[in-house]
Amino acid sequence: MAETLTQQQDSYLPPPAPPGAIKWIRDNLFKGWLNTLLTLISAVGLYFAISRSLIWFFAQADWTPIINFPILFSVGQYPREELWRIGGVLSALALLLGFSWSHWGGLLRGVSLYAGAMFLVLGALPVSHPALTPSMRVFLISLPATILLAFWIGRWRFVSKRMVMALWLVYPFFSLLLIRGLAGSAVLELVSTTLWGGLLVTFVLSIGGIVICFPIGVALALGRRSKLPVVSAISTFFIETIRGVPLITLLFLFSVVLALFLPPDARLDRLLRALIAMTIFSAAYMAENVRGGLQAIPPGQEEAAKALGMNGVQITALIVLPQALRIVIPTIVGQFITLFKDTTLVYIVGVNDFLGIGRSIVNSNPAYLQAQLEVYLFIAAIYWIFSYLMSLASRRLETSLGVGKR
């Protein structure tokens, strides 16, 4: 009896404490002569690589092309006297982030904090440049305070979740109207998209492509699985045709060949043509991602819903599609990241995106040709930061939804 009680007590003992840092290093880095040798070789290699990189970064690299053109990298040739419109778009974004943080927290809290930290760093950069006026620095530094103020206001009763969701739906149209302006307006003068450039064009193409391609891809995925032969055939033909063509071909097709099929007086904006090509290309891949999630749903889910008296639309919208989208969140976000990086291809068809501005700056002055490595590293770092933030947001969303756990 005593032995049985002792065994039961032993079975309820807490697990041992994790090993300390010294024990972990000894077991993982210096366990045996081969492991020790590999650790020492790796340490020496890392030391030389990091030290040489830091010396080059702070002492040898020429960051003049980047320091001299911060506004050009941001908005291209957008009229400098109209930059208040970009400020209005950023202020509205800060307000929406704060409202969303107050209602949903979690993922949006992290996004709000990261955005506030980024604005704070941009406003406090130790760079002296005429374009970075004190008023612009104050505005950038005030954006984190705007997020916090909106977070506090968002807790008031009159700011409901439905109101915040409605504002998010209106925000893209408001931003596009504010940036582009209206023809014949004295307050919001029309700014041609040929003057847009830099990160502004990159965000317009990527965010516009993401927002538009997602519903189109879902519709194509549902159409391909439709029991109607005509709908299934059309969806399948569209998906397989677009997926079999390189993106650069579609960009040239919509930029050059499309004009041959339009009336002589009709002319689509160059940025709009690039957006259409990227949206169609991404929608085809999005359709296959969503179709994979739809096929992963057991047939018993639909049978149970039919037994409850639900019709086909209700089954798809309330039962099948939410589970399918939850399953393929990593794939969908991966497609969004790919679309964000593929915006660099529009430079080939004459649209000055972020990469195109960098190439233009390097080619504008023979002195900058020696600094093209620094320019391209800067561009790569910006793309990596935003891609990593999207990946981080995806992982947090998966964790909150329990993807892979339930």
DSSP for 35-46 reads HHHHHHHHHHHH
Query: Does residue 120 lie in a domain region?
Result: no
* Confidence (pTM): 0.85
The token duo for 241 is 């045709």
CB of 240 within 8 A of CB of 228? no
**Residues 348, 282, 114, 392: what is their CA dihedral angle, to the nearest 10 degrees?**
-120
Query: Does residue 98 lie in a domain region?
Result: no
Query: Does residue 174 lie in a domain region?
Result: no
Helix (H) or strand (E) holding 31: none
Query: Does residue 105 lie in a domain region?
Result: no
pLDDT at 377: 93
Query: Does residue 276 lie in a domain region?
Result: yes
Query: Does residue 179 lie in a domain region?
Result: no
CB of 75 within 8 A of CB of 356? no
- C-alpha triplet 269, 272, 276: angle, nearest 5°: 140
CB of 217 within 8 A of CB of 289? yes
Residue 337: give the domain boundaries.
194-365
Measuring CA to CA, which residue among 54, 204, 60, 78 is closest to residue 131? 78
Amino acid at 87: G
- Neighbour count for residue 206 (Cβ, 10 Å): 23
For the chain (length 406 residues), average pLDDT per consecutive 10?
A: 55 61 77 85 92 90 86 89 90 92 82 86 75 82 91 84 90 91 83 89 92 93 90 93 91 80 73 90 93 88 86 86 88 91 88 89 86 91 91 82 65
How many structural domains does the chain have? 1
Measuring CA to CA, which residue among 383, 387, 374, 384 is closest to residue 69? 374
Query: Does residue 387 lie in a domain region?
Result: no
pLDDT at 231: 92
Task: Give the domain CATH number at 272.
Answer: 1.10.3720.10
Measuring CA to CA, which residue among 54, 355, 394, 397 is closest to residue 202? 355
Residue with tokens 């206001």: 153
pLDDT at 11: 57
pLDDT at 380: 93
Q: At what angle do helices 199-224 and 354-364 cross, to 10 degrees?
A: 150
Query: Does residue 154 lie in a domain region?
Result: no
The token duo for 226 is 């439709």
